[in-house]
Amino acid sequence: MRVAHLVDTLHPADGEYGLSALAGAAAGAGLELVVIALTGSEDRRAEALRAAGAVVVEEGLAPWDPRAVPALLDTLREHRAELVHTHAPNADVVGAAAGTRLRIPVFSTLHRIEEEPAGRLDRLRRAAKTTARARFVTRTIAVSRLQVDWYRRVAGSAHGLVVLPDGVTDPAPLPDRARTRAALQVGADDVLVVSAAPMRRGKGQDLLLDAVAALPEDLGVRVVLTGDGPLRPWLEARVGREEELTGRVTFRPLPDPAALLQAADLQVHVTRTDVMPTAAVRGLAAGIPAVTGRTGGLPEIVTRETGRTVPLDADAVAEAVAELAADPGLRGRLGEAARARYLDRFEAGGWAERLRELYASTTR
């Protein structure tokens, strides 16, 4: 089945939507992926998608360009797409229009929860989008159960909405875990804690640093922040000036934190809002326990059997980290359960197969 996945852009500032993982698993599920970006990006994401087996087309249009629908119609016809799957606001509109014109199914994934509209005009816009989705989109996919409640509030009904979390690629085995840890100056008896969230507002690195400062001095914990973003200079400055943090916290921004997560003993993910954070799922794939907040879709990823979910409070986070740092046997059991949960619910191959079944249910 040839499926066109439509996004606004492949620029790194926009969401990735798990398409690289899906592209790598598509062939095994009987899918052929054509990824279409409405605007150009000159970004390595396009190269990665092609390397994973997807056909990539960048239309090179401006945002909300009136030529988008005709351009997409030409591309869909050229690549003989049997179905359109959209992933962003502009893509939703353009994809629904083109799919309806070609009389092929249109799928749309909700990747976030929008804030409540502030004024009458915003409410009218949301009502129009909801009406259009109900009329022109064959099936809407939520990546977390949290979105179902939200969608029911804004749309009046969750009829036709299906929950299907995105998957992530199973990481390649780490050749030399000890060497990776040594390069980070992590001692043999130290506990390596990794935070892989992007360094943006609301992602919780400030709370994590508060928690690290509250840990007992004799606890051998080393923390690596592997995300990147606009808050990085501020976070680095804080670590540099606070004695409780300087010897414990380092920064290693990486586009793919999979190897670092496999070298870690524990992941901390205390974002203030996240629908279905990929970083937390990657921790499951690495087979390590996690300390997370109870916000957004995190409780759908991390359970009592795979880690600890705590209030967004520095002392609570510190207490959970200290508990797991002091008990390697507990970390091992939680890590095994985390890996099993990943394979059951979030592995990319299984995700691709579930998508294929969902697509097929509307094209029979």
Q: Give the pLDDT confidence of 29-86 residue by residue, as tens digits.
A: 999 999 999 998 767 889 999 999 999 999 999 988 999 999 999 999 999 999 999 9
The alpha carbon of 167 is separated from its chain's Cα centroid by a whole number of angstroms, namely 9
Reported confidence tier of residue 125, pLDDT bands at 50, 70, 90: low
- The stretch 273-278 carries a mean pLDDT of 89
State the pLDDT at residue 138.
92
Report the candidate in 320, 358, 308 with the shortest Cα–Cα distance to residue 107. 358
Question: Exposed, middle or buried: residue 173 (CB in 10 Å: 0-12, 13-18, 19+)?
Answer: exposed
Rounded Cα–Cα distance for residues 193 and 203 (Å): 16
Task: Give the three-state DSSP class for 311.
Answer: coil
Identify which of 324, 269, 315, 318 has the alpha carbon closest to the alpha carbon of residue 294: 269
Predicted pLDDT of residue 133: 75
- Determine the 3-state secondary structure of 141 from DSSP: strand
* Average pLDDT rounded to a whole number, residues 93-119: 87
Indicate if the pLDDT at residue 274 is higher than 70. yes
Cα–Cα distance for residue pair 235/279, rounded to 1 Å = 19
**Percentage of the chain lying above the pLDDT 90 cut:** 76
| pLDDT score of 127 | 65
When mean pLDDT is compared across 31-35, 244-248, 286-290, the lowest value belongs to 244-248
- The CATH superfamily holding the domain 177-346 is Glycogen Phosphorylase B; (3.40.50.2000)
What does the pLDDT average to over 278-295? 96
Residues forming a β-bridge with 107: 85, 139
Greater pLDDT, 132 or 47: 47
Q: What's the pLDDT score for residue 226?
A: 94
Listed residue (144, 156, 2, 164) closest to 77, CA to CA: 2
In this structure, what are the phi and psi dihedrals at residue 268, rounded to the nearest 5 degrees?
-120, 130
Within the chain, all domains assigned CATH 3.40.50.2000 are found at 2-168+348-363, 177-346
* Per-residue model confidence (pLDDT) at position 349: 98
pLDDT digits (tens, 9 = 90+) for 150-178: 888 877 778 879 999 999 999 999 989 99
Q: Is the pLDDT of residue 205 over 80?
A: yes
Cβ neighbours of 58 (radius 10 Å):
18
The distance between the two most distant Cα atoms of the chain, rounded to a whole number of Å, is 66
CATH classification code of 2-168+348-363: 3.40.50.2000
